[in-house]
Chains A and B, each alone.
Chain A
Amino acid sequence: DIQMTQSPSTLSASVGDSVTITCRASQSISSWLAWYQQKPGKAPKLVLYQASTLQTGVPSRFNGRGSGTEFSLTISSLQPDDFATYYCHQYHSYPYTFGQGTNLEVK
């Protein structure tokens, strides 16, 4: 199975800050990576797919980069609605696997 490792586990930031979350795959997954945002009691919400393609309706302050084994999600000019947990997800091969999550909290 492909292991997905996210860092950091917790990230403290303020409104207006720019933050970056990283995700590393245990083997190459090309660009078959998605990012999800999850808030307490809710299902994950798709933010980006194919590493860098913004899902319809997601603000352009979300930016994804990477290919192979190293990926990042950058959120610029943080807004109050952005504080949540973020997960990466590889869909290169089965079984699909997710990272353990990054909790983006208010500083």
Chain B
Amino acid sequence: QVQLVQSGPEVKKPGASVRVACKASGYTLTGYYMHWMRQAPGQGPEWMGWFNPNSGGANYAQKFKGRATMTSDTSINTAYLELKRLRSADTAIYYCARGRTLWFGETLTYFEYWGQGALVTVSS
């Protein structure tokens, strides 16, 4: 069965970087797009971008361009999200979610499989 297991909670100071891991099981990472969302306390999810683990290509929401980087290590079936220059407004739960198969494309994607979330707290 498909599972996405994320890394544990992180506490960072403003200006630092954080990397969140998302280990996939039950399928091959390179066969599907991976999307990242975040959810601040009391708010709806916010889409951050998608990543193609086969090509290394990515599409970031404008808000995160230049600050977010999505990568993967296909040898361990794991995707990563790095966010730099953290500020207090980045405090949120970060989720990975599996997208469509590569042959379908990155469009028209709803999310059936989600990671359990990783809490990132930014505080001085």
Q: Using a CB–CB distance below 8 Å, which chain A residues touch chain B?
A: 4, 32, 34, 36, 42-46, 49-50, 55, 87, 89, 91-92, 94-101
Q: How far is the CA of A94 from the CA of B59 in the complex (A)?
A: 9
With A34-B111, A55-B112 as known contacts, state yes or no: A94 contacts B46, CB within 8 Å: no
CB of B56, distance to nearest CB on chain A (Å):
19
User: Which residues of the other chain, A, contact B112 by a CB distance below 8 angstroms?
Assistant: 46, 55
Contact for B110 among A42, A49, A99, A101, CB less than 8 A: A49
User: Which residues of the other chain, A, contact B115 by a CB distance below 8 angstroms?
Assistant: 43
Q: Using a CB–CB distance below 8 Å, which chain B residues touch chain A?
A: 35, 43-47, 59, 61-63, 95, 108-112, 114-117
A-B pairs, 5 with minimum CB distance: A43-B114, A34-B110, A98-B44, A96-B47, A95-B61
A–B pairs, 16, beta carbons within 8 Å: A36-B111, A43-B114, A44-B95, A44-B111, A44-B114, A46-B110, A55-B112, A87-B44, A87-B45, A91-B108, A94-B47, A95-B62, A96-B35, A98-B45, A98-B46, A101-B44
User: Which residues of the other chain, B, contact A92 by a CB distance below 8 angstroms?
Assistant: 108
Contact for A32 among B108, B116, B117, CB less than 8 A: B108
Q: How far is the CA of A98 from the CA of B95 in the complex (A)?
A: 14
Closest partner residue, chain B, to A41 (CB atom):
B117
Q: How far is the CA of A106 from the CA of B116 in the complex (A)?
A: 26
With A34-B110, A91-B109 as known contacts, state yes or no: A98 contacts B116, CB within 8 Å: no
Q: Is A97 a contact of B114 with CB atoms below 8 Å?
A: no
Residue from B35, B62, B109, B111 whose CB has the most chain A CB atoms within 10 Å: B111
Closest partner residue, chain B, to A89 (CB atom):
B110
Closest partner residue, chain A, to B116 (CB atom):
A43
Q: How far is the CA of A44 from the CA of B115 in the complex (A)?
A: 9
User: Which residues of the other chain, A, contact B108 by a CB distance below 8 angstroms?
Assistant: 32, 91-92
CB of B68, distance to nearest CB on chain A (Å):
12
User: Which residues of the other chain, B, contact A36 by a CB distance below 8 angstroms?
Assistant: 111
Q: Is A43 a contact of B95 with CB atoms below 8 Å?
A: yes
Q: How far is the CA of A44 from the CA of B39 in the complex (A)?
A: 10
Q: Is B43 a contact of A100 with CB atoms below 8 Å?
A: yes
Q: How far is the CA of A89 from the CA of B46 in the complex (A)?
A: 10
